[in-house]
Structure formats: C-alpha cells, structure tokens
C-alpha cells in the first residue's frame, strides 16, 4: 500500500484547498469544489458505489458489503481543506528517503531547517522515509493524509474480496479548519452506525475527548483627537486593547499549556486609535471550565466599560463545538475496537485528549459517534510540517483491520 498512499498524498497536496473564514459561502473556496470532484472520480474508478458530491461539496461514497450477515455500518471521515493559518499555494513536497537523524534543510536559500533539536519527535523516525515541505508552504497532511489513507484502504478492500466485511461509508468534508466541516453533513444519508475521523497526529493516536470550544470577538471603540491636544479627550483603542490583554491570565495561553489545560488564544488583532478588533478562541475540556472562561471575558469587558465609558468594548461569543466524550462513552466499544485493531496492526495505541477539535466532535453531537484516529503527520499548519510514510501505511492497515473487525459484529 505504501506506493499507492504516497502517490495519492503527493498528488492531493498540490490542490490549494485552504479554507476562508470570511468568504461567506460553502465550500469557502472554489478549489475545494475542484478537489471534491477529482476525489469523486477517483472513488468511482476504484469501484466504490453511491459516489456523490452534493451542493456543498461534501463527498460521499459506499463500499458495499460482501457478506450476508447483518453487521453495523462503519464510516470513515476526513476533511479536504487545509488551514488558512499558512499558505497552501504551490505546495512542493520533498521526500527524504532514509532520515539520518540530522537537521533537514527545507530551504537552503532562506536557511529553513527542520531540526530534531527543536522537534525531537523526529528522532522516532530515523531510518524512515519522510515527506517534508520546501519551507515555503504547509504540507497539507492535515488532512490530505487522512483522505489518502481512507481511499487507499478502500482500494485495498476492493482488490481483496477475501477480506469479509459489511457496508462501509466514507465522507470527505469541506471547511473543517474554519469550524464549518459538519455544518451540512447529512448524517441520515451517510447511514453509518458509527464512524472514525482519520484526522489525528502521530502514529498510534486514538482520541475520543476534545476541547469544548468557543470563539470571541471584542470590538473597542476609541476616540481620535490630535495628540497635541488629547489630554482628557482621546480614547486610544490600541492602548485599551493592550490593557485588556494584561487582564488575561498570563499562563493560560497555548504556549504555556498542555494536557488537559485550557487556554485563551488571541488569533487576530486589527486596530487604530479610533477602533480595534480582537478575535479569540477559548478552549477547555470541561463545560464548566469553558463557561468560566467566557465569564472572565465578560467581566473584563465590564471593567473596560466601567473605566472608559459604556459602549467602549463590545463582546460577541459563539460556541463552536463540545467535548465528544459525553457521546462516545455510552458506545465505548467503538474505541476499544479501534484500539484492538491498532494492536493487531502492530501499532501501539496512544489514547490522548485532542487539544483541538475535529469534525468528529460535532458529528458525535449530531448522532454519529465518531472517535479520531491518527493520520501520521506532525507540526500541522506550518512550514515545518512533515509525515513519515510508514505511519501512513499503518493508518491504512488500521482502517482495513477496523472494517474487518466490524464485519464480525452481529446486529442480531
């Protein structure tokens, strides 16, 4: 499977499918529609049935059952877009055939080096083939690795009918990176009993809990006056924003948190004296923790308005997704099944919380329990992204093994 999954991945990352949070359309970029159509043609060519690209560019397909027994329908889901945090235009991946444990020069001209000193996880892959960037773009393993692995596993199952299995559903979604990947997902049409997103990181990751998430936007209205005559008159929105930042707990930010610790993260700041806009994402593993964080922002805004006048700061909050653990625990056997499939594929499971979210977290609340499985990549959303190809092969093998094991479950 190695040649097939690598060939697909190299081909897929050259589609610039970066999503756009302000476009106001679905998919948010036209290139995602183009990619969806290309995937649908490929799915039909390898022998899948009921292949469809809907009006929102969700791709659906079915691998028919080759057994007579009634067994649960399992699904696999990945997303087509890449992060808008870093450019995905003109991705030019490099293959490192036999990683030697030293720094990898991604771009000699710009002196960009993927260093095991900074990224010690590289030491786990000495002797393996790696796919890296050229230092100018992200790679796109999040989540074109997952798409490559799902399609390659389906192709393998089509070509190996001796592996007995029930019906398998797959879906590829747009705009996951901007929090809209499940907005128009048709759970009833998908028809799976449960599913797995192939959207995790390093080999072995198996996740069924994730952050509760919200977004926040604070608009600060200032008042511009000639600085020579500003005393008692000017309200500098930039300075007020700086004062607001100082009220955020210093160590409750991404660069100082890990494990089950939540955070506040400033993602964007635009401002002048007259007006400033601040965007946050807020994350916590407990529902109460998320509410506490939202309440702190409300308190800070009240304090700003108390000092500088009512209406100076305005806060808008929006819940984004919730911890899927609540929906997965009643059907924990699907996690156990994936864990066993990994062990039987020679992969050591690493059951960890997702310090983020996937389509699976929202799909779980839409009635489709959906844990997350590794796709194999590291350092997503930037120029230091890389993926070991043996991890991709193992992801394919785990998918095949899950399908085989579900085929042994009876619904009677």
Which two structure tokens, joined as six digits, stand for 406? 């579900």
Render 89-153 in DSSP notation, one character per residue.
Answer: TT---EEESS--SS-EEEETTTTEEE-TTT-GGGGGGTTS-EEE--SSS---HHHHHHHHHHHHH
CB contact set of 312 (below 8 Å; sequence gap of 6+): 220, 221, 222, 235, 240, 304, 305
Residue in the structure block whose two tokens are 């043609």: 41
- Determine how β-strand 350-351 pairs with β-strand 104-107: unpaired
**Known catalytic membership, residue 81:** yes
Distance CA 258, CA 253 (A): 10
φ/ψ of residue 294, rounded to 5: -65, -40
Q: Can you say how many angstroms the Cα of residue 102 is from the centroid of all Cα atoms in its chain?
A: 29
Q: Which of 176, 180, 202, 284 is catalytic?
A: 176
Beta carbons within 10 angstroms of residue 20's beta carbon = 16
Cβ density class 22-52: b for 16+ within 10 Å, e for less: eeeebbbbebbbbbbeebbebbeebebeebe
Q: Which of 31, 42, 81, 252 is catalytic?
A: 81
Annotated active-site positions, please? 81, 176
């Amino acid at each position: 499977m190695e040649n097939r999954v690598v060939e697909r991945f190299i081909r897929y990352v050259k589609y610039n499918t970066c999503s756009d949070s302000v476009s106001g359309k679905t998919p948010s970029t036209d290139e995602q529609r183009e990619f969806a159509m290309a995937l649908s043609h490929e799915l039909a060519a390898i022998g899948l049935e009921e292949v469809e690209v809907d009006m929102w560019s969700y791709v659906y397909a079915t691998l028919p059952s080759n057994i007579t027994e009634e067994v649960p329908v399992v699904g696999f889901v990945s997303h087509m877009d890449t992060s808008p945090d870093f450019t995905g235009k003109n991705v030019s991946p490099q293959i490192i055939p036999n990683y030697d444990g030293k720094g990898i020069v991604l771009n000699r001209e710009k002196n960009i080096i993927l260093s095991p000193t900074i990224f010690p996880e590289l030491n786990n892959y000495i002797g393996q083939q790696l796919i890296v960037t050229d230092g100018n773009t992200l790679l796109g393993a999040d989540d074109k690795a997952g798409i490559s692995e799902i399609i390659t596993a389906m192709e393998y199952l089509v070509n190996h009918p001796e592996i007995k299995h029930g019906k398998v559903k797959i879906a590829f979604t747009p705009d996951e990176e901007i929090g809209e990947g499940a907005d128009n997902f048709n759970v009833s049409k998908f028809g799976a009993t449960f599913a797995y997103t192939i959207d995790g990181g390093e080999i072995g990751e198996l996740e069924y809990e994730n952050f509760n998430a919200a977004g926040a936007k604070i608009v600060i209205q200032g008042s511009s006056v000639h600085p020579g005559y500003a005393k008692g008159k000017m309200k500098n929105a930039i300075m007020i924003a700086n004062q607001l930042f100082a009220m955020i707990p210093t160590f409750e930010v991404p660069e100082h948190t890990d494990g089950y610790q939540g955070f506040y993260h400033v993602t964007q700041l635009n401002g002048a004296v007259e007006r400033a806009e601040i965007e946050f994402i807020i994350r916590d593993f407990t529902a109460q923790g998320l509410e506490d964080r939202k309440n702190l922002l409300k308190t800070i805004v009240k304090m700003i308005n108390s000092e500088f006048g009512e209406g100076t700061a305005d806060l808008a909050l929006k819940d984004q997704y919730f911890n899927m653990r609540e929906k997965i625990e009643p059907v924990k056997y699907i996690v156990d099944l994936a864990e066993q499939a990994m062990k039987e594929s020679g992969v050591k499971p690493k059951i960890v919380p997702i310090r983020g979210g996937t389509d699976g977290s929202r799909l779980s609340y839409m009635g489709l329990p959906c844990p997350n499985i590794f796709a194999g990549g590291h350092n997503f959303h930037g120029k230091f992204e890389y993926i070991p190809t043996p991890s991709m092969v193992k992801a394919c093998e785990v998918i095949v093994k899950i399908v085989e094991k579900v085929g042994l479950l009876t619904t009677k």
